[in-house]
Amino acid sequence: MQRDIQNIVILTGAGVSAESGVATFRGPDGLWEGHRVEDVATPEAFARDPDLVQKFYDARRAKLRTVEPNAAHRALAKLDAHWPGDLLLVTQNVDDLHERAGSKRLLHMHGELNSAWCLACDERSRFDGVMADDQACPHCQQSGHLRPDIVWFGEMPYQMERIELALAQCDLFVSIGTSGAVYPAAGFVQSARHYGAQTLEMNLDPSEGSFHFHESRKGRAGDLVPDWVAEILRDI
Ligand code: BV8
């Protein structure tokens, strides 16, 4: 690694949670009861069949209680605790494994399973129950207006200005466990390179955007990420 790395942006995708037992989207385990994510994770699907979509997210929210962070999540949390420069972990994942491992400088650009968005009062609140049961909003107490606080296809990802600023200021952009299939996240490597950052990918298979990266390491996140964190912390 270059010695003059101060500011780091890390992007993670479903591959970082795979070894915790959380299904990825486009791998062999990537379908949910025969549904492609693209067919369920849309406002149109929610309008057409809210119960199906709520059940899709209720099932994934319940699954969170049965899984634990893995070595990759823990290594990234260690980096968060010890890195003296700027560090922003941007996750596409809607699970809570990065925060449970201890990452603090973290944002969920595609939302979170453990958050509910009330369409009656527009407030968001922590939620770990069953949304298909028409529970009341903790803020306005009205029932039947909660939707998963998830960014669906066709919806604007969260905190894009903050992400773009971090990409403009970073010296190193690292992409871990993502297929590079979904935008705008898949375009972050090009933005980072445009601003002169070094770029590193760690993935089980080369992503769709692998050719954009200066360096690409092939393997499981649970193996590659702890080694990389040890390497970069050795250089500080
Ligand atoms: C938007 C929440 C605009 C749902 C998700 C062309 C150009 C630009 C945009 C588009 C375009 N065509 C269509 C679009 C729009 C669309 C898009 O990109 N579609 C794709 C399918 C082409 N994008 C959007 O709609 C986005 N919004 O563009 O808004 C806009 C502008 C103005 C105003 C309003 C709107 C919103 C996208 C967000 C959709 N929501 N998630 C949910 O989670 O239920 S996306 C979904 O895919 C997940 O968030 C997931 O994180 C994301 C990406 O998937 P990955 O994380 O990469 O997972 P995947 O399974 O694909 O890959 C896993 C990888 O890990 C693999 O490479 C595998 O090899 C690797 N792996 C596996 N095991 C391991 C491993 N690696 C390491 N170790 C292991 N053990």
Q: Give, for all 236 residues of the chain, the pLDDT tens digit.
A: 456 899 999 999 999 999 999 988 877 766 666 777 778 899 999 999 999 999 999 999 999 999 999 999 999 999 999 999 999 999 999 999 999 999 999 999 999 999 999 999 999 999 999 998 888 999 999 999 999 999 999 999 999 999 999 999 999 999 999 999 999 999 999 999 999 999 999 999 999 899 999 999 999 999 999 999 999 999 78
Residues with CB under 6 Å of ligand 1 are: 13-15, 18-19, 24-27, 30, 37-38, 41, 92-94, 110, 150-157, 177-179, 181-184, 203-205, 207, 220-221
Report the first-to-last Cα separation within the chain, whole angstroms. 11
Residue 94: C-alpha distances to residues 27, 35, 218, 221 (Å): 17, 18, 24, 18
110 is catalytic: yes
- Per-residue pLDDT, 68: 98
- Per-residue pLDDT, 39: 82
Question: Among 73, 98, 110, 212, which one carries the catalytic annotation?
Answer: 110
Distance of CA 117 from the midpoint of ligand 1 (Å): 21
